[in-house]
Chains A and B, each alone.
Chain A
């Protein structure tokens, strides 16, 4: 049963990849511009902090290379995000707010499976992932990190946890779009893209009243700073290395509960966003 589910997910991922390749081959100029846009957007976010670190010889006790490592982790996260989330499947408030959940209801596939596989774009969405890998390798070499299989597994673990937090938070706030489709259509964008810059701030050296809210109330400190320091072997604030996992579990459970509630409401009320001549209301 589980094997057939995995097989089906892989088949659907392959279909998404094929469609992505078709776009690249049939509309190469625009597909490449899309890739360029993704790269520039990420560079503009991470380069700011790195240039500051370079100019000032580090930030708050983190060396320039450690900041580079943190930016590499952030780029890698962005890469994974774009790789699997290019179909608004993580910016889920757009799908809900635009009344496009109905499109998914019509397919003979579970909603979860569709959302898991519909945003996979390995050909046009893989550049930031590759760039993140290169930056990580460069910074690891400069820091003379002892890279073992366990370290690589820890890297995968923190990437998975970071993605879980990003997705769970996006789904949590996107539940508002079930009730207010127009006003909350872009709330996932606010929660994800609006806070991206904040997640690249090295919190080292900042006062505790800034650090703690960004680890407890808002998860921005857990999206690059905390996991990077854990991977460098010194988890901040004497917290356990498993703290991000605990946070991910709590926010996932909360998001699952709230999202389901919203979905039941949507199934009863529906959405009517389109005007007869095609534009959205």
Chain B
């Protein structure tokens, strides 16, 4: 276990190698997006249209989605492993490849959590946002969301192997699909034209949108968690099997 924690520690330090100063643009952009987004939802919710969520719930949803963005939609270094030399790190060490990927990813979350999520959580009352989970089931739901996120990301990584190293393209498609279908930008239940009901059961809905709905109390945990469990049970074996078969197809020629 210690060696995995060291891997996470290394990934955390890697993010800050250039100095904390160079993390600031990313953090600034996140803050500058989050604050107007909170006010955008205030303006929208003030219209009085009934959508099954109160303004407070909506603001908490948006705010928590931004603070936990990395966990709600997992992005491992795997899609770039062929072009950016991650491959050499992963297969050059006597440790599980997927275990390393998980720890590299989790370690990479820490600087953002410390420099963006924590301070913004502390100032949330100033923006009129309440960050208190409506149910303790939020924690297991978040764990299942992160777990499913790794499985989904691994499947996309296998796709990048299949597509001969088009990691940039796969990453772009993955980000676009997940942004729309996971409910992290707009809660799935709020989608117009009956899309909300239709999209509730697809696997991406068990990512970010699921724990956020439990967090604000707009969905019952007994409805959300079984779906998350089911998708984990289906996608993890599929991801492991496809990954096992895909490994032989890896071709890397530098970055």
30 contacts between A and B (CB under 8 A): A30-B163, A40-B173, A40-B176, A48-B186, A51-B186, A51-B191, A52-B44, A55-B51, A59-B43, A180-B18, A183-B18, A183-B21, A183-B22, A187-B22, A187-B25, A190-B25, A190-B26, A194-B25, A195-B29, A195-B32, A205-B43, A206-B36, A206-B39, A206-B43, A210-B35, A210-B36, A278-B253, A278-B255, A279-B85, A280-B85
A114 in contact (CB, < 8 A): no
CB of B186 within 8 A of CB of A195, answer no
Identify which of residues 246-281 in chain A touch chain B, using a CB-to-CB cut-off of 8 Å. Answer: 277-280
Kindly supply a per-residue 1/0 record for chain A positions 185-199, scoring 1 wherever the CB is within 8 Å of any chain B CB and 0 otherwise.
001001100110110
A141 in contact (CB, < 8 A): no
Q: How many Å lie between the Cα of A52 and that of B53 in the bound state?
A: 14
Q: How many Å lie between the Cα of A77 and that of B103 in the bound state?
A: 39
Q: Which of B18, B36, B49, B88 has the most CB atoms of chain A within a 10 A radius of its CB?
A: B36
CB of A201 within 8 A of CB of B49, answer no
B190 in contact (CB, < 8 A): yes
CB of B186 within 8 A of CB of A37, answer no
A222 in contact (CB, < 8 A): no
CB of A37 within 8 A of CB of B173, answer yes
List residues of chain A with CB under 8 Å of any chain B CB. 30, 33-34, 36-38, 40-41, 43-45, 47-48, 51-52, 54-60, 173, 176, 180, 182-184, 187, 190-191, 194-195, 197-198, 201-207, 210, 214, 218, 220, 277-280
Q: How many Å lie between the Cα of A208 and that of B51 in the bound state?
A: 27
Q: How many Å lie between the Cα of A56 and that of B44 in the bound state?
A: 7
Q: How many Å lie between the Cα of A47 and that of B49 in the bound state?
A: 20
Q: Contacting A191 at CB < 8 Å: which of B25, B84, B163, B169? A: B25
Q: How many Å lie between the Cα of A184 and that of B23 in the bound state?
A: 9
CB of B32 within 8 A of CB of A218, answer yes
B192 in contact (CB, < 8 A): yes
Residue of A nearest to B23 (CB): A183
Note all chain B residues with C-beta closer than 8 A to A203: 36
Q: Which of A55, A183, A204 has the most CB atoms of chain B within a 10 A radius of its CB?
A: A55
- Contacts A44-B179, A191-B25 given; 6 further ones with Cβ under 8 A? A37-B172, A41-B175, A43-B176, A58-B47, A198-B33, A220-B32
Q: How many Å lie between the Cα of A44 and that of B37 in the bound state?
A: 16
B180 in contact (CB, < 8 A): yes
Q: Contacting A55 at CB < 8 Å: which of B49, B172, B254? A: B49
Note all chain A residues with C-beta closer than 8 A to B47: 56-58
Q: Contacting A198 at CB < 8 Å: which of B36, B172, B180? A: B36
Q: How many Å lie between the Cα of A227 and that of B17 in the bound state?
A: 40
Q: How many Å lie between the Cα of A6 and that of B36 in the bound state?
A: 43
Q: How many Å lie between the Cα of A43 and that of B18 in the bound state?
A: 34
Identify which of residues 16-68 in chain B touch chain A, using a CB-to-CB cut-off of 8 Å. Answer: 17-19, 21-22, 25-26, 29, 32-33, 35-37, 39-40, 43-45, 47, 49, 51
CB of A30 within 8 A of CB of B25, answer no
B136 in contact (CB, < 8 A): no
Chain A interface mostly: helix
A59-B44, A183-B17, A279-B255 as given contacts; A34 in contact with B39, CB under 8 Å: no
Q: Which of B49, B166, B172, B190 has the most CB atoms of chain A within a 10 A radius of its CB?
A: B172
CB of B177 within 8 A of CB of A40, answer yes
Residue of A nearest to B49 (CB): A56
Q: How many Å lie between the Cα of A201 and that of B58 in the bound state?
A: 17
Residue of B nearest to A195 (CB): B29
Identify which of residues 81-126 in chain B touch chain A, using a CB-to-CB cut-off of 8 Å. Answer: 84-85, 88
Note all chain A residues with C-beta closer than 8 A to B17: 182-183
Q: How many Å lie between the Cα of A142 and that of B224 in the bound state?
A: 40
B185 in contact (CB, < 8 A): yes
Residue of B nearest to A44 (CB): B176
Q: Which of B19, B47, B88 has the most CB atoms of chain A within a 10 A radius of its CB?
A: B47
CB of B153 to closest CB in A, whole Å: 17
CB of B191 within 8 A of CB of A55, answer yes
Note all chain B residues with C-beta closer than 8 A to A214: 36
Q: How many Å lie between the Cα of A34 and that of B85 in the bound state?
A: 23
CB of B34 to closest CB in A, whole Å: 10
CB of A197 within 8 A of CB of B33, answer yes
Identify which of residues 127-168 in chain B touch chain A, using a CB-to-CB cut-off of 8 Å. Answer: 163-164, 166
